[in-house]
A and B are shown apart, each in its own frame.
Chain A
Amino acid sequence: MNEEKTRIEDINRAFYDFRFDDRDAYKVQSGLTQEIVEQISREKKDPDWMREFRLRSLDIFHRTDMPDWGPSIEGLDMRNIVTYVRPNTERMHTRWEDVPEDIKSTFERLGIPQSERTSLAGVGAQYDSELVYHNVREEVAAQGVIYTDLESALHGEYADMIREHFMKLVPPTDHKFAALHGAVWSGGSFVYVPAGASVEIPLQSYFRLNAAGAGQFEHTLIIVEEGAYLHFIEGCSAPKYNVANLHAGCVELYVGKNATLRYSTIENWSKNMYNLNTKRAKVEAGGKIEWVSGSFGSHVSYLYPMSVLNGDGARSEFTGVTFAGAGQNLDTGCKAVHNAPNTTSYVNTRSISKDGGVSTFRSAVVVNPQAVNSKSAVSCQSLMLDAKSRSDTIPAMDIRTSQADIGHEARIGRISDDAVFYLMSRGLSEEDARALIVSGFAENVSKELPLEYAVEMNNLIRIEMKGAIG
């Protein structure tokens, strides 16, 4: 009998791999020196405190060791990374028509303006190191919601607020790449949602890295005041090059009393990308942070969104899916720190490994002594699609009070024969049954996204089954 093993295709990346010639207006030399950091600071017209902050961060970067506990990042040589690339446009635009043609074409192919018209309250688009477009709907702005690029905010009426919050949740001393971010950050969004405001439809920032050998270091700062609601979506992609690219962004989220922030990410960087991103949220009493995370791209990822539950009754939910294919080593997960009574954290993740891909789920739950009556539940499931791949689960729990309920469960396995048998007994072919199980495996994330993005994510996965079942 001619048999062919069930085959699940890689994510089809052709859609994202187009690129335009590197016609940037300005870029610094590759490498990382004090001169380069000062040059970036001059370009950005930083206030004095920010210039000093950058230099202090650079000093911390040089004094901090590389992480010794995750995937290898030996292929990343900072001497070859260009830390600042200004695209060929003089300023940020608020009218789509004004964005330069090749940049506009990039985002149109990614469907950004179309999404803005149909399903978003506002859009920010970053190309290499700078925001090129930012817009927010009038009715949202009328609620007092601010959605702008971080640099404009740094020089405008929110300057003091930025100074008060910038890199306070993720200090440059946090790890080596947080220090790097502090030294060379550029671009990113600032969102302020005043007390009681509810942004019913999402805001989105899309980050596109076009230049070969470049780094992107955008900073996202979101402040959601008491009782407010916001859904923020972040998308990332880049064309594939033969040299290493680096993404060391930073996301700081401040969730006020009884406020809710949903932060969704669909990450599809190219497979030459080192994605060393840091995300952290601080949640006050009664507030809630909801992370929805899809990790599909990158050569190497270190990504662990962290929730610091600081107020009584604060909650966090993390829902994630990671798909590691050939040449990818994706180390993802999350952390939850319970710092107050009656706090709750819930983690639900899926990971899929195939074609030699490595996926690692790494989590930490810390319940401090004051966090009495706290609850935490962590569930992670991993699917191995072949014996060339690897899937690891490394959770840690540190519990310092008896008045807590902590549950953890994890499972690694392959597609269940029983499930296939059941579906076949309902009339599906074995091939269809396996395809259904694999696509359903990632449903925990897709069902949490707005419909348009769930469809996009399903397209992104493009799981195909073919051949007879062996």
Chain B
Amino acid sequence: MTDRQTITVNRPLANTFGWLHVNGTRVEAPESTRALPLTLAAGEERTVLTEGADASLEISAELAEGAVLRLIQVRRSGGPAQEINHVRVRCADRARFEWYRIVLGGASTLDDCSVTLEGRESAFEAEIAYRLGGEERLDMNCEAIHLGRRTRSEILASGVLREKAFKLLRGTIDLRTGCAGAVGNEMEDVLLVDDTVRNQSVPVILCSEEDVEGNHGATIGRLDESLVFYLASRGMSPEEIDRMMAQAKMDAVLRKIPDAAIREALLEETRA
């Protein structure tokens, strides 16, 4: 339980223009907020699965030297109408945090993941996949703060929006003074299926260190026409092509889940 009545999720790390209205959302913290503190000892490896039974979840993890935390979080349409998901992780030297965030539906999902790479050569890998339809909303913040030397972050997001779905992803790579040799990459790929969807993307790089590299790229839109033409010439209908390419985007992320049982279950579920 948390004693806070109101929490701010998806706070803006660096404000965009006021007129675009992508500021933070303040919501009441449900009574059922569950705090899940995790402490990993040096060299320890742990895999944690959360499946969205809680309307509000706060995970805070401390990773000691060389520890590896694999956090797999699945959100389904059958869960609570609104799910609030806070993740706070601090990584010591050579620690690694892998975050697999799979959103398969849900009326409203608010995610806020912030990872501080304090130790040398610590790493954060985010693999985000989402599939939204109807009037479902996903509002997501994912932040990598580089403090240690030669730290590394990779934020990869891939998703499909249908009908009147809404998605906002703010991905931030924050390269702070002292993180010499750090590299941060962010890549987003969004497939928009219907004309009534709405996608907002704010991929931010903040940099106050010289010897670093920050990259981000985004591809947003429909399927490539030449690809559609090729598949159609092989006898596939437009609906089959859409379904296959949407599944391919989910598969690309799901296949990276290291736990075989979880991976296969999710692959089966999404293909059903």
Minimal beta-carbon separation of B106 from chain A (angstroms): 21
Which A residues between 373 and 414 are near B, CB-CB below 8 angstroms? Answer: 382, 384-387, 389-414
**Chain A residue at minimal CB-CB distance from B214:** A412
Residue of A nearest to B162 (CB): A402
Let me know if B209 and A392 touch, CB within 8 A. Answer: no
Give the distance to chain B from A151, nearest Cβ to Cβ, in Å: 31
Is A67 in contact with chain B by the CB < 8 A criterion?
Answer: yes
Closest to B213 in A: A413
> 19 A–B contact pairs at CB < 8 A?
A69-B17, A364-B17, A369-B195, A385-B210, A387-B180, A390-B207, A393-B204, A393-B207, A393-B214, A397-B218, A397-B220, A398-B200, A399-B192, A402-B192, A402-B193, A403-B195, A403-B221, A412-B175, A412-B212
Count of residues in A whose CB is under 8 Å from the partner chain: 42
Q: What per-residue 1/0 map shows which CB atoms of B1-42 lie under 8 Å from chain A?
A: 000000000000011111110100000000000000000000
User: Considering the chains assembled together, what is the distance between the CA atoms of A426 and B223 in angstroms?
Assistant: 43
Interface assignment of B247: CB less than 8 Å from any CB of chain A: no
Chain A interface main SS type = strand
For the complex formed, measure the closest distance between the CB of B21 and the CB atoms of chain A, giving whole angstroms: 9
0/1 interface trace, chain A 115-127, chain B, CB 8 Å (1 if under)? 0000000000000
Complex: A308 Cα to B200 Cα, angstroms: 19
Interface residues of B in 213-230 (CB under 8 A from A): 213-222
Residues in chain B near residue A372, CB distance under 8 A: 195
Cα–Cα, bound, A224→B218 (Å) = 35
A364 and B220: CB pair below 8 A?
no
B215 contact from A68, A335, A396, A410, Cβ within 8 A: A410
A169 located at the interface, meaning its Cβ lies under 8 Å from any Cβ of chain B in the complex: no
Is B114 at the interface (CB under 8 A from chain A)? no
Instruction: List, in ascending order, chain B residues with CB within 8 A of A392's CB.
Output: 14, 204-207
Contact of A280 with B by CB under 8 A: no
Interface residue B67 (Cβ < 8 Å from any Cβ of A)? no
Q: Which of A335, A394, A399, A406 contacts B14 (CB 8 A)?
A: A394
Point out the residues of chain A lying under 8 angstroms from B206, CB to CB: 390, 392-393
* Other-chain contact of B198, A304, A399, A409 (Cβ < 8 Å): A399
**Which residues on the A side are within 8 Å of B18 (C-beta)?**
67-69
Q: Which residues of B contact A304 (CB under 8 A)?
A: 17
For residues 165 through 218 of chain B, which have their beta carbon under 8 Å from a beta carbon of chain A? 175, 177, 180, 190, 192-218
CB distance from A436 to the nearest CB of B (A): 19
A398: nearest chain-B partner, CB-CB: B200
In the complex, which residues of chain B have a beta carbon less than 8 angstroms from the beta carbon of A28? none
Q: How far is the CA of A227 from the CA of B221 in the complex (A)?
A: 32
Beta-carbon nearest neighbor of B12 in chain A? A69
Interface status of A134 (Cβ within 8 A of chain B): no
Return B256 CB to nearest CB of chain A, in Å: 23
Residues of A with C-beta under 8 A to B22: 396
Q: Is A463 an interface position by the 8 A CB rule? A: no
Bound complex: CA A68 to CA B17 (Å): 10
Which residue of chain A lies nearest to B17 when distances are taken between CB atoms in the complex? A364
CB nearest to B198 among chain A residues: A400
Report the minimum CB–CB distance from B29 to chain A (whole Å).
25
A319-353: which residues lie under 8 A (CB-CB) from chain B? 335
Q: From residue A377, how far is it (CB to closest CB) to chain B in Å?
A: 10
CB of A364 within 8 A of CB of B20, answer yes
Q: Which of B194, B195, B204 contacts A394 (CB 8 A)?
A: B204
CB–CB A410/B203 < 8 A: yes
Tell me if A404 and B220 are in contact (CB < 8 A). Answer: yes
**B203 x A384 contact (CB < 8 A):** no
Nearest A-chain residue to B191, judged by Cβ: A402
Residue of A with least CB distance to B180 = A387
Nearest B residue to A69 via CB reads B15
User: In this assembly, does A231 line the interface, its C-beta being within 8 Å of a C-beta of chain B?
Assistant: no
Task: Out of B194, B212, B214, name the residue touching A402 (CB < 8 Å).
Answer: B194
- Interface flags, A424-463, vs B, CB<8A=1, else 0: 0000000000000000000000000000000000000000
> Chain B's nearest CB lies how many Å from the CB of A412?
4
Q: Which residues of B lie under 8 Å from residue A404 when comparing CB positions? A: 192, 220-222
Expressed in whole angstroms, the Cα–Cα distance for A398 and B192 within the complex equals 12
Residue picked from B15, B208, B211, B217, most chain A C-beta under 10 Å:
B208
Contact of B202 among A67, A394, A406 (CB under 8 A): A394
